[in-house]
Amino acid sequence: MKRRTSLYLIGSLVTGFTLTTQADSNAVDPPLYSPPRSRFDIDELKQLLDQRDIEGAIQLVEVRWKEQYEDYYQGKLTLTLLSTATISQRLQNLFRQTGKRTALIYVVPTPEHLELILLTPGLPPNHQRVTAANRERLLQTVNALREGIVLQSRARSRYLEPSQQLYQWLIAPLASSLQTHQIDTLMFCLGNGLRTLPLAALHDGQEFLVERYNLAIIPAFNLLDHRPVSLKDAKVLAMGASEFEDKPPLPAVPLELATITTNLWTGEVLLNQKFTPANLRSQRQKQTYRIVHLATHADFAPGSSANSYIQFWDQRLSINLVHNLGLRFPEVQLLVLSACQTAIGDLQAELGFAGLAVMSGSRAALASLWHVSDLGTLLLMTEFYQNLRTINKSEALRKSQIAMLKNQITTQNEIAAVSRADAISTDLERIQNTDFSHPYFWAAFTIIGNPW
């Protein structure tokens, strides 16, 4: 039990939540990437769980996964490790504050099996071991699901079979507890190979997971700002580009930004040449924008964090320098990237995606796992912002995804009105005649961080 003692020492020596980056914003060369230190001993984790020491197991996982994010982003995170009783109590407090019953699920792949740990409001943890899901088989199924969705195969079995299998492994062992305790929001802390899993598209044989639960992923519970926040009356800084030198155009971006800031929210639009990091920082000095929306290409690529980037008009901003956008002070409540692409099956790429909110300084992020069609993104984002006026982030996304799944989009009038007023051309007839029910159009979008 030496390791557990050391974990408690870590928890007692560090407090708060800060990122001290080791990368100089003026550096010419990106920092060298080092392989993760965080390959914790799976046998030790198994031993802790076999001894029913779930608290020790969770703390082992959280510390090691924290180290993975530190290695990838070349920075330093600090955290206070909470006991399982404290986490459970915080979930209970969040229910009192938000009316949402949130469950926290740790999903830890190992070579021989899958470990699931469920924490629910005010109750002891629930551990399940899925022996049928060894790491190799699990990750093959994850890849099959993503490929089946992205290829938009007309044969539903191309994605439905792996979707149902993953549901049986990840959700079914916990389903009775979730139903008994009336859980409506699932917050996933995912291990290597699973952080780019389109959770919304998991299927129980009757319906998709998103039809039943609000969903979010987090890098670690102890890195999460747990305070719920209302975005009522928030202002939106909406920025983006429709033209690129070496990337496909995004012709619907002007309409996307105008629709969000004209009919749905109050905000400012900075398009194309005005879309620069310097302008983002200067606008935030003039006005408090609690939502920052970036409609542009963003790529979470294999290799070091310097390989992943957000495309601005005048530069590619490496993900390891995203803290330079100054989103932490004053704190941005929601960062939206509406045209992301994340490499499948790559550890480094998934760390970039899942760590986006923590490392950017935003309390939460909304991003996509693959580059969704321009019209599909326009519809989902418009629906999302309409919903966000009255409900929290994860519920707003869920309702938007269900609207697309059921072809019940309600925001076409808002899009048409802005299009006519601003003389922005868009193929509204094509929107009306397109079937957006396929998971390709909605399952990529993911809340990262605080879901409330």
Residues 182 and 117 in one domain: yes
Domain end (from 162, 194, 222): 222
Residues 367 and 423 in one domain: yes
Residues 123 and 255 in one domain: no
Q: Which amino acid is at 183?
A: I
Position of tokens 């294999």?
A: 302
Q: Is residue 111 part of a domain?
A: yes
Domain end (from 167, 187, 222): 222
pLDDT score, position 426: 63
d(CA 154, CA 165): 19
Four-CA torsion 337, 343, 347, 351, nearest 10 degrees: 0
Helices (H), 241-346: 253-259, 277-286
Which range marks the domain in which residue 320 is found? 235-449
How many structural domains are present in the chain?
Answer: 3
The residues near 429 (Cβ < 8 Å, ≥ 6 apart) are none
The three-state secondary structure class of 240 is: strand
- Cis omega (within 30 of 0) for bond into 277: no
The three-state secondary structure class of 269 is: strand
Domain end (from 156, 189, 222): 222
Size of the chain, expressed as the number of residues it contains: 452
CA count, 13 A, side-chain hemisphere, 293: 28
Residues 52 and 104 in one domain: no
d(CA 317, CA 309): 5
Residues 169 and 274 in one domain: no
Phi, psi of 69 (to 5 degrees): -65, -40
Residues 51 and 164 in one domain: no
Cβ-count burial of 35 within 10 angstroms (0-12 exposed, 13-18 middle, 19+ buried)? exposed
Q: Is residue 285 part of a domain?
A: yes
Q: Is residue 30 part of a domain?
A: no
Angle 124-67-137 from CA coordinates, rounded to 5°:
70
Give the other-Cβ count within 10 Å of 406's Cβ: 11
The residues near 405 (Cβ < 8 Å, ≥ 6 apart) are 208, 210, 211, 437, 439, 442
Q: 334, 306, 341: which is closest to 321 by C-alpha?
A: 306
* CB 352 within 8 Å of CB 365: no
DSSP 322-390: GGGG--TTTTPSEEEEEEEEE-TT-HHHHHHHHTHHHHHT-SEEEEESS---HHHHHHHHHHHHHHHTT
Residues 256 and 168 in one domain: no
407: left (phi over 0), alpha (psi -120 to 50) or beta: left
Q: Which residues partner with 449 through β-bridges?
A: 364
Enumerate residue ranges in the chain where pLDDT < 70: 1-40, 153-154, 420-429
Residues 218 and 281 in one domain: no
Residues 58 and 129 in one domain: no
d(CA 359, CA 62): 16
pLDDT score, position 8: 33
d(CA 380, CA 336): 12
d(CA 188, CA 447): 11
243: left (phi over 0), alpha (psi -120 to 50) or beta: beta
Residues 267 and 310 in one domain: yes
CA–CA distances in Å: residue 71 to residues 17, 31, 35, 77, 177: 17, 11, 7, 10, 36
Cβ-count burial of 178 within 10 angstroms (0-12 exposed, 13-18 middle, 19+ buried)? buried
Residues 239 and 160 in one domain: no
